[in-house]
Chain A
Amino acid sequence: MASTDIARGSLERHGLSDEQLRAIFRNMLLQRQLDNRGFQLNRQGKVPFALGSEGHEALQAGAAMAFDRGKDVLAPYYRDLGLCLGIGLTPYEILLSIFARAADHNGGRQFPNHYSSKAAGLMSFSSILAAHLPHAVGAAYAMKYRGETGRAVLATCGDGTTSEGEWHESMNFAAVHKLPFVMLVENNEWAISTPLAKQMAQPEIWKRAAGYGIPGSRFNGFDPIQTYAAVKEAMDRARSGGGPALIEGTCYRYLAHSTDDNDMTYRTREEVTQRRSQDPVPAFEAVLLEHGIMDAAGIEAMRKDTLRETNEATDAAEAMPYPQPAELYTHVYEGAWQPWQS
């Protein structure tokens, strides 16, 4: 289970520099600001939909630090704001997605949070859970086929997705071919309204690794340093030809599934409040303060800076135009195209 008891005493930092630790924290603060902004814009009636990752901040900021930009590929799912920020997407790009503007990577076609960027190594994905995992495995196969060592695919999903057939098929194929593929499960205990106990009889997902004959581990996803260490170990092994791994980070989903969900219909306020007491953002703030990596003034300045960046990104993205109606018809196939050839 997740714990607030993060590395008291001497900090085990797994090689992370002060600068990297501050970057992780900044990513976490930025996630909070952007999540909050999506929900605000929805409640203001400016956007039809938003979806937040609160509770996943430490896991995603830590995992992203183990991603090798320009080499690795990320195959995320829709609750991966922090991972996408951490591999190089900007708040402006996030807001373009939220506002569905023409300048968005997807041209305003996809739901918010369904980011993609070929330049960043971020694979396009849909809302259909686990459908992206065979793609991630196929990309890993291509890397291995071309003999590209030093690259790996980091794929993520929630606990709910591990029930899908394609989750299993992907794990199995990656294991058979010893692919450079790391399956990172962000276990937040809820699949919209369905708790873990109704999803699986054996709740420790990482243990399934044994069934595929690959390494597996579980870590506290409220601790970004532990997360970094686990993801880095698995990615390093994958990059150097050691094959895939299944790693599970425990966390919690603080918000409802999306702006269209009311989580009080299926879980109690008490449960959420109790888990809020373990919130990874203030917990990591305390670690940074305790170890003198940041001081209170620095944290306050960073908080203000992430709010400023979020505000500026919001204004800039909102000012951008929607796609033109004619854009509906582009990129169906290469070139202009109709089902009837004339």
Chain B
Amino acid sequence: MAVVSTTGSTVMNNVEAVRATLYEAMKNDDRTVILGEDVGARGNVFLITKDFIGEFGERRVIDTPIAEASIVGIAVGMAMEGLRPIAEIQFADFIYPSFNQIVGEAAKIRYRSNGEYTCPLVIRTPYGGGVRGALSHSVSIEALFYHVPGLKIVAPAFPADVKGLLNASIDDPDPVLFLEHKKTYRLIKGEVPNGHYTIPLGKANVLKEGSQLTVVSYGLYVHWALEAARSLQDDGVSVEVIDLRSIRPMDKTAILNSVEKTHKLLIVHEDNKFGGIGAEISAMVAEEALFNLDAPIRRLCGPDVPAMGYALPLEEEFMSSPAEMADAMREMVKF
């Protein structure tokens, strides 16, 4: 963590960490503008930009029409013309209309113009379930964008990482998709260093050291995996937990170093399994560290259904729990 000018720290939840970081970015650089649905007078549906419009004005805090493709597209044009836009998609589920602007345009501006044009753009969006969000307020979208060269994708779990990674994303010269897990917004609190600092994209964090199993996760499930791993400690089960923090680029070194030590790998994510982030991690480890493995790689992921239903049993069935994660960990250690 590159701490530049820190004097102490402040306890925040993830909403407050996003808000404080955006506020700092708006203060520090008048090229920065925020645009999205209800980010102005309403201050965002989670109140992340509450009162920003009063302080920074409606030219910099732009309540857009309900039109996701052009929220991103207009931000792309602003970025090409010298601003540093931060676009918000109100819920990740609503990002689909802007798919082309992200994949076909933002990710390709630098490449297709041979470096003449660039697209320094942050797209923030709340994602994930466990909040009774039903089919259109609970999806995970990372795998849809993970495949796309030209994009970077960040999915922090802790408030301190939210701040450092959001600062790094805002500074980044290329488009970054910044994913904020809704369930962690107010659930997760932590110390956030004061002052400006960045955390480089593509650096994982080993949250808990262990010797018998490597667990790789990101977002909400990092917290549950950590809870599960700690619950096994008294039984003498030693699990290492890695929070990826960035999904693209991804920290290969952290994963391989851990697998070399534990010889077993469990990947845990909320997004569905088929073609998910875990598939790529599995393939990478199989290609590069197969003979370090003492057990088949396992993925504990969301089921391959379109989304979690609104009814509580349907949501609970979709989501993994710390207990399920602990069971999977125990089984793998026994293997």
Contact = CB atoms under 8 A, between A and B. Distances in A.
A342 B252 contact: yes
Contacts of B28: none
A124 B116 contact: yes
A119 to B, nearest CB: 8
Given A131-B101, A166-B69, A341-B251, A333 B80 contact: no
Nearest to A144: B59
Contacts of B202: 341
Interface in B25-75: 33, 59-60, 64-65, 67, 69-70, 72-75
A143 B83 CA distance: 10
Interface string B165-203: 000000001100000000000000000000000000111
A107 B75 CA distance: 25
Given A134-B101, A136-B77, A173 B118 contact: no
A170 B77 CA distance: 11
A142 B284 CA distance: 42
Residue with the highest number of chain B CB atoms closer than 10 Å, among A133, A169, A332: A169
A246 to B, nearest CB: 16
B109 interface: yes
Interface string A80-106: 000000000000000000000000111
A137 B77 contact: yes
A313 B69 CA distance: 39
B94 interface: no
Interface in A119-160: 123-124, 126, 128, 131, 133-143, 145-146
B110 A334 contact: yes
Contacts of A128: 100, 104-105
Contact of A116 (B33, B101, B117, B250): B117
B80 A341 contact: no
A141 B114 contact: no
Interface residues of B, number: 53
A118 interface: yes
A165 interface: yes
A8 interface: no
A169 B67 contact: yes
Contacts of A114: 112
Nearest to A176: B65
A166 B100 CA distance: 11
A137 B117 CA distance: 16
Name the residue among A166, A176, A330 with the largest chain B CB count within 10 angstroms.
A166
B219 interface: no
B113 interface: yes
Nearest to B203: A341
Contacts of B105: 126, 128, 131, 135
A169 B77 contact: no
Given A128-B104, A139-B78, A339 B149 contact: yes
Nearest to A137: B74
Contacts of A116: 112-113, 116-117
A330 B149 CA distance: 12
A270 B133 CA distance: 59
B130 interface: no
A145 B67 CA distance: 21
Given A145-B59, A173-B67, A340 B284 contact: yes
Nearest to A177: B62
A73 interface: yes
Contact of B117 (A124, A138, A176, A330): A124
Contact of B76 (A135, A333, A337, A341): A135
B7 to A, nearest CB: 30
Given A128-B105, A135-B77, A142-B77, A105 B110 contact: no
A141 B74 contact: yes
A173 B65 CA distance: 7
28 contacts: A106-B113, A109-B112, A114-B112, A123-B77, A123-B80, A133-B73, A134-B73, A135-B76, A135-B77, A138-B73, A138-B75, A138-B80, A138-B83, A138-B85, A141-B83, A142-B83, A145-B60, A146-B82, A165-B67, A165-B97, A169-B67, A172-B65, A173-B67, A173-B74, A331-B110, A332-B150, A340-B252, A341-B253
Given A138-B85, A173-B74, 10 more contacts: A126-B108, A131-B104, A138-B75, A141-B83, A142-B83, A145-B33, A145-B60, A166-B70, A331-B114, A334-B110
